[in-house]
Amino acid sequence: MRNPGRMREVERWLAFVRLAGVPFALFQVAIGSNYPRGYEGWAWFITGCFAAGSLVLLWLSQRDWPLRSQTVLGGGALAFDFAIVSAYILLYNFEQGTPVRQIMFLPLVEAALRYAIPGALGLAAVSAPVMAGYELLRERRVTPHHYHVDYVTLQIGVELLMALIVGWLVQRLRSQTVVAETRAGEAERLRDQLGRRADVLEAANRCARALSSSLELDQAFDAFIREVRGLVSFDRMAIVLSEEGSAQVMAVSGAGAEEVLPPGSARPIRGTLLEELLRSGRAVYRRDMGAAEYPEEEEFLELGLRSRFATPLLLGARPIGMLSLVRREPEAFSPEEMELVELLGRLVASAVQNIRAYEAERKTVEELRRLSALRADFVSLVSHELRTPMAAVIGSARTLQQRWRELTADQRESFLELIAAETGRLATLISDVLDTSRIDAGTFTFRFSDVDLAELVRDSVASAEVGSDEVGLRAEVRDPLPVVRGDPERLRQVLMNLIENAIKYSPAGDQVDVHAYAEAARVRVDVRDRGPGIAREDQRLIFEKFGRVTSGNTRPGTGLGLFIARSIAEAHGGTLEVSSAPEHGAVFTLDLPGQV
């Protein structure tokens, strides 16, 4: 028995039992009779010693002794009890048929309680001389004077058997007690772990609610950081996402938030801690950043930050960024805190995915609404564009039909020219609509051959000059130009569209410049006008189907020409871009690969 608390408890219990035996001993001595001369005095003396010793042992048992002193006290108490019991047994040898020898079972049980089987067997062995002495005294006093060895052996044998039984029971009880205490300790640890898990889950729930409080990433991250601050202390915290090879800082709080890697900043991932997290998918604990291993740690050290724990933001098994907490003290994060932060990293990743999915859906819905509006505008626009030339054609045709004889030759020619022009306008409109539908269906055809783009540019400018009276045209071709592999009619369609648009938006008396030149094995054609220009927000829109500028500088049209032109350019492996600013004109650039 090496447990001080249990030893103290046993000692106190035995002290009370011992003290309870004092009145019983007094009673037995008092009712005793036929004491030989001087025996009764000795009986009272032994009882007095018993009472005094019981009081002393009770007092000693109430004090908190160290383990060694507890052991000495227990051994001394057992020796005292054995001595008192032995004295009573030897004193009462004068009584015939007395069971006085059986009180030796009391210290035997006490020895078993204290020291299990070894203690009980030891006391049984020590009691053998006492039993032999008792039988010797009884043989001298009681007639017939015969020494019964069997009385001694019977007593000793019973004591040995009792020592084995009681000692085994005590030993068994102790082993079961150890098992019960072990299980109780495990249960307590499990309870504590369960409590900590519950606390972690509750904290995670609060953070999850903070992340879901807004569908805007910035607002959701701000609410999340405020919640985390109440759960895990930090001197700096950052949420960083991996965006196309760069580390994009989404949110920062704490030391150097506006100076070192502020929100919205980006750095190359290569060589950073984020690169390691993305590669391994496991959290990294930098116990002491005194020897900086990553570029950003040098800046953290300048802020007085020493330890850092970073966990990946995991979507399933795929890391998309990291959650980083930094403290001023080295080795400042506990295992429980790191476990909580890793769980929070998964929550942040899920929130990012959900918010981005929402943003994608929202943008899709907005795009569908925009396209629906564009289609509605297109229907209205085409109706208008069709109605105007059709009205002109019908009106002119009826006039010619009804008043042919009254009209002069010149008037008839004017009406016929108007019909031809409006019919051509209708044909162009219908052609654009058909070309658009073919592009969408993937049936837009090309006939590729070697094209002299210099000649094509000059011909296109010359054709446009025929119908342009108010706006001048100037072609500048830097020969020689590489031969282009393409469809000459489709490329002519692109050039004519760009030139006609430039003429349409140029003020009267102004000039449109067409510049063709070679650049790094490619052929570029710039069509420059000095018109009202195109706002930045409209520069993407004008290349889409039915797309038209949203400012007031609009001209009649379907919004299909530039969409068709860019589709043709891309089918040739080239591009069609615009560079413009309001009130500074526009430059449309056709870029095509040349043949080496």
Shared domain for 472 and 539, answered yes or no, is yes
**Cα four-point dihedral sign 227, 233, 238, 239:** negative
> Is 400 inside any structural domain?
no
pTM to 2 decimals?
A: 0.43
Cα torsion through 17, 20, 26, 27, rounded to 10: -110
Is residue 163 a contact partner of residue 112, using CB atoms and an 8 Å limit?
Answer: yes
Shared domain for 162 and 249, answered yes or no, is no
CB atoms within 10 A of CB 148: 11
pLDDT computed for residue 374 by the predictor: 61
> Is 308 inside any structural domain?
yes
Q: Return the residue matching tokens 């067409």.
A: 514
Reading the block at residue 527, the tokens are 């069509």
Question: Which positions of the chain have pLDDT values less than 50?
Answer: none
The phi and psi torsions of 400 (rounded to 5 degrees) equal -65, -40
Shared domain for 180 and 225, answered yes or no, is no
Is residue 281 a contact partner of residue 319, using CB atoms and an 8 Å limit?
Answer: yes
> Is 440 inside any structural domain?
no
pLDDT computed for residue 52 by the predictor: 93
Is residue 268 a contact partner of residue 316, using CB atoms and an 8 Å limit?
Answer: no
Shared domain for 231 and 303, answered yes or no, is yes
Class of residue 240 by CB neighbours under 10 A (exposed 0-12, middle 13-18, buried 19+): buried
> Is 231 inside any structural domain?
yes
> Is 553 inside any structural domain?
yes
Is residue 486 a contact partner of residue 572, using CB atoms and an 8 Å limit?
Answer: yes
**How many angstroms separate the first and last alpha carbons of the chain?**
98
Shared domain for 155 and 283, answered yes or no, is no
pLDDT computed for residue 369 by the predictor: 78
Is residue 296 a contact partner of residue 261, using CB atoms and an 8 Å limit?
Answer: yes
In 256-271, which positions are buried (b, 16+ CB within 10 angstroms) versus exposed (e)? Answer: bbeebbebeeebebee
Shared domain for 178 and 285, answered yes or no, is no
> Is 54 inside any structural domain?
yes
Shared domain for 309 and 244, answered yes or no, is yes
User: Residue 194 in 3-state DSSP?
Assistant: helix
Provide the 8-state DSSP code for 485: E
Amino acid at 56: V
pLDDT computed for residue 1 by the predictor: 52
* Among 338, 356, 374, residue at a domain's last position: 356
Amino acid at 455: E
The domain of 103 spans 4-184
> In sequence order, what are the residues at sequence separation of 6 or more whose Cβ sits closer than 8 angstroms to the Cβ of residue 506?
471, 512, 529, 530, 531
The arrangement of strands across the sheet holding 575-580 comes to 472-477, 511-519, 522-529, 586-593, 575-580
Distances (CA, A) of 37 to 94, 126, 478: 11, 29, 151
pLDDT computed for residue 309 by the predictor: 92
**SS in 3 state form for 357-382?**
HHHHHHHHHHHHHHHHHHHHHHHHHH
Element (H, E) at 195: helix 149-211
Shared domain for 339 and 479, answered yes or no, is no
User: Residue 258 in 3-state DSSP?
Assistant: coil
> Is 73 inside any structural domain?
yes
Sheet strands (E) in 181-306: 236-243, 246-254, 266-268, 284-286
Is residue 164 a contact partner of residue 109, using CB atoms and an 8 Å limit?
Answer: no
Shared domain for 173 and 252, answered yes or no, is no
Between CA 405 and CA 170 the distance in angstroms is 140
Between CA 90 and CA 246 the distance in angstroms is 97
Shared domain for 344 and 230, answered yes or no, is yes
Q: How many residues are listed for the chain in this entry?
A: 596
Between CA 385 and CA 560 the distance in angstroms is 13
* Among 184, 199, 231, residue at a domain's last position: 184
Shared domain for 230 and 343, answered yes or no, is yes
The phi and psi torsions of 147 (rounded to 5 degrees) equal -85, 120
> Is 260 inside any structural domain?
yes
* Among 161, 184, 207, residue at a domain's last position: 184
Between CA 108 and CA 101 the distance in angstroms is 12
Count of domains forming the chain: 3
Shared domain for 476 and 576, answered yes or no, is yes
Give the CATH number for residue 342.
3.30.450.40
The phi and psi torsions of 429 (rounded to 5 degrees) equal -60, -50
CB atoms within 10 A of CB 131: 22
pLDDT computed for residue 315 by the predictor: 81
